[in-house]
Every structure is written in C-alpha cells, then in structure tokens.
Amino acid sequence: MTVIVRFAPSPTGYIHIGNARPALYNWLFALKNKGQFILRYDDTDVERSRSEYAEAIARDIDWLGIKPSRVEYQSKRFAVYDAAVEKLKAAGLLYACYETAEELELRRKLRLTRRLPPVYGRDALKLTDEQKAAFEAEGRKPHWRFLLPNFKTTPFETERTEVHWDDLVRGPQTVDLASMSDPVLVREDGTYLYTLPSVVDDIDMGITHIIRGDDHVTNTGAQIAIFRALSDVVPVFGHHNLLTTTSGEGLSKRSGALSVGSLREAGVEPMAVASLAVLTGTSDNVEPIATMEELAARYEPSHASKSNAKFDPADLTGLNRALIHHLEFADVEPRLAALDISGDKAEAFWATVRGNIDHVQDAAQWWEVVNRTEPFSDAVANEDKDFIAQAFDLLPESPWGSDVWKVWTEAVKAATGRKGKTLFMPLRLALTGVASGPELADLLPLIGRENTLARRA
C-alpha cells in the first residue's frame, strides 16, 4: 500500500506555525514511508477564500521544504460533493432540518435544565410532508444532518454505539456516537461544512493516513461513520497535540502570531522552524536538525505528548544559530550576494563570522566592519587612545599572512608591557567597535592593512 497523506488548509489567511505543524507531520510521515503528500485547499468558503492566501501557503510550505505530489482545490469539486449528498439522501442518511439557530439554542438549554446531554433530538425526522411544505412556504431553507448509526430500531431511542480506532499518536481511542448530535453537513444556503468535502476527497484521493490536531478527536467518530456510509475503506487517524503561545493561548491566523511568512522575513532558517515545530511537545530532545530527511528519520508520531506544546520563538534563536554555524559558503552564497557580500574574500569572511551571528543577514554588519575606512572613535576609552596609537605604529608591513595578529600583538605586548584583557580588548574595540565577535586572528587579514590604519583615531 502506498502511503498517501494530505494537508488541507483554508486559504482565508496566512498560515502560522501551528497550521504548518500538521503539514510538517504529514510531510515527514510521507518521507519516512516513501509516500505521497497532497496539498488540498479547503476553499469551499468562496467569500473568505483568496488566491493570494493560497499562493502564500504554497510559498510558505515550499520554504519549509515541503514538496507536494499534487495540488487540489475543493472549489473545483462541487459536483463530486453533490453526488455524495444524493447518495446519502437516497440511503436515508441525510435528512432536512428546519430549526433556526435560536430554536436550536432554546432546545439545548431545555435539555440542560433537565440534566440531559445537549444533543439534537432528531425532531426533524418527525416532520410530515405538510409541515415541511409549511416551513418552505415561510421561506425557511433546510440544513441537512447526517443520521448517525447509534440506534437499533428507532432513531429516537439511541444506545451506546462505540467507534474504535488505533490512533497513530494517542493509541486506542473510543467515541460513543450516542453522545453526540447528528452533524450538519449542508447549510441552509446549500454550502458545505468542512466534514463532507473532507471525507469525500479523502475517499476519492485514496488518503491512507489522516494526521491532524487533537482538536479533531471528538469529530473522528462521526467522520468514520460517514466514511463507512460512502466507502468500504477508512483511513488511519493520528491526532497530535496543538501548539500554543508561551502563555498558553491558541494561535490565530487573524492575529498573525508566529506566521510562517514573518519568521521567514525575520531571517529564521526553515529547518530551525521545522525542528522546533516538530520536536517541541514530544519526548524527543529539541535540537537543530539539518535536513528534512534527518528529521523524518527522527519523527515518530507516538512521541507526541498528550498536552499542548508551547512554542517559544526565543528558542528559535539558539536553533538558528546552531544551524548557521554549520552552513557552508555554497549554502548561503546567493543570500550573501543579495547582501552585497561577494568577491575574493567572501568565502573566508563567511567562515570567520558564521560562528558569531544569529541570522545569515547579520553577516552584513560584519561585512561593514571589515570594509570600514573610518575609526571607531567612540569605542575606545580615553585612557587607551595613546596605547592604540602606539599599537598602530607597530602594525606589520604588507603582505600579511595568517599569523599577522599573533605577530602584531606580540610586538605590542613587548613594547607596552600590556597583556591579557588590557592588551586585547582595546585593540578589538579599535578594530571592530564592539567588545565581542569573531576571532581577530581570522578577522584582521580580511580587514587588511590599509583599512586597519584608517581606523586610527
């Protein structure tokens, strides 16, 4: 059996890292099992869906390293859903309901006051043709509910009906169909809720595994019932924990919190995002993983914890730094060129600074330092300025080798008697303007004698 998974986002906003989490989980599962990954846009909400959001989603998951086998749009498949509706109606499994939202809420409250579970009582099944016609004459349009198989003889006498599945993440799961209302599949205006198109597409596209957030666990029992009504095959389900902010709040497209696009624009490496999104909230150590293939080998659905996972953007900095430290020049050459970092010394420059930056674009600050032709006058303390002047007088002549820093500092030490921090810190401040950074033994040859002398105050 070929593993086929899907990621089905709604193109009604920009996806955040919480949305990308199931995309990553499905992609890694496909990689691990040499399967297929389908990007399927849930764009049946024609009023809120936007092509620019769909394009942004495609761009974001591509940046993360996710490469779909194919792309589908639910908005192009309404005829398939219409056929499924007719099949369910013909089987007596989809029935018309005319209650308004206010009427349903009143009935729910009445059941609660009677200490009954607030499930729909299937009153619409009792309507006569004349009553339905009267509602239609009032201008009411029906919504359509799926009749759950939770009874033996009459739908008004439900009994405990267990649906079982072995969840990839959570292990054996059980849902009692008698504890829930018949789900609405079609709205009054004829549009479809999420469930029907999703199940129909999963059947038609041969989806073998559905990996999604654990907020769908309670829906799964009803969805399995719909699968069985329409097909002989039910996919394997897996429900992973959800990501929240560090304060425990849920992520939202509308707030823009931790959007994938904003992380990309901030210069975060895609594998830093993927590593943190996948490994946080699991029994695995959260550490930087360099490639999707390595992350797929590490990924195990059952390692996810049962509680929500808190995503701290601050953790990205450490992961990002660790990944950057191992990036070769060839990995970043186009990005450096976009920062105007190029030429004969670009490769040696990258090897020198990559261990001291959090993001690739931070290299631009050190490129400015290397090519600076002015003194860092404010960086050097007044009591050290005579020392710096004397040190610059002892600067070795060209050409410079890789040992120029050692040769120079030994000469300065011998002439001034300074050593340790009192020797090296003033020189670092005079050369770079800051108290920390790359090794000066590597940086000085890149600066060159002429640019070094230009920093003499």
The C-alpha atoms of residue 41 and residue 22 are separated, in whole angstroms, by 14
> Which is nearest to 299 in space by CA: 278, 315, 285?
278
What's the confidence (pLDDT) of residue 257? Answer: 57
Mean pLDDT of the region 50-74? 97
Mean pLDDT of the region 334-346? 97
Encoded tokens for 97? 């309901």
The C-alpha atoms of residue 28 and residue 30 are separated, in whole angstroms, by 5
Tell me which H or E stretch contains 166: strand 162-167
Other CB atoms within 10 Å distance of the CB of residue 235: 22
What's the confidence (pLDDT) of residue 307? Answer: 86
Mean pLDDT of the region 170-178? 96
293 pLDDT band (50/70/90 cuts)?
very high
DSSP 102-162: HHHHHHHHHHHHTT-------GGGG--HHHHHHHHHTT---EEEE--S-BSS-TTSB---E
Percent of the chain with pLDDT over 70: 98
Q: Which amino acid is at 286?
A: V
> Which is nearest to 81 in space by CA: 190, 183, 228?
190
Higher pLDDT, 116 or 227: 227
∠ CA 153-156-162 to the nearest 5 degrees? 70
254 pLDDT band (50/70/90 cuts)?
low
222 pLDDT band (50/70/90 cuts)?
very high
Q: Alpha helix (H) ranges present in 380-439? A: 385-393, 404-416, 421-432
The C-alpha atoms of residue 418 and residue 16 are separated, in whole angstroms, by 54
Tell me which H or E stretch contains 173: strand 171-176
99 pLDDT band (50/70/90 cuts)?
very high
Let me know: does 54 contact 209? Beta carbons within 8 Å: no
**pLDDT digit string, tens, across residues 425-448:** 999 999 999 999 999 999 999 999
- The β-bridge partners of 158 are 151
> Which is nearest to 105 in space by CA: 122, 124, 118?
118
**Residue labelled with tokens 């399967």:** 35
pLDDT score of 252 more than 70? no
Longest dimension (CA), the chain: 109
* Residue 64 neighbours by CB under 8 Å, 6+ apart: 20, 23, 24, 260, 270, 273, 274
Was 67 annotated as part of a binding site? no
Mean pLDDT of the region 304-316? 87
Percent of the chain with pLDDT over 90: 89
The C-alpha atoms of residue 59 and residue 166 are separated, in whole angstroms, by 34
pLDDT score of 191 more than 90? yes
Mean pLDDT of the region 149-157? 96
The C-alpha atoms of residue 441 and residue 411 are separated, in whole angstroms, by 15
Least confident of 123-137, 142-156, 310-324: 310-324
Q: Which fold has domain 79-166?
A: Glutamyl-tRNA Synthetase; domain 3 (3.90.800)
The C-alpha atoms of residue 152 and residue 138 are separated, in whole angstroms, by 35
Least confident of 111-120, 135-144, 253-262, 340-349: 253-262
Helices and strands, counts by H and E, the chain: 18, 12
- Give the pairing type, strands 70-73 and 36-41: parallel
> Which is nearest to 161 in space by CA: 225, 88, 216, 231?
225
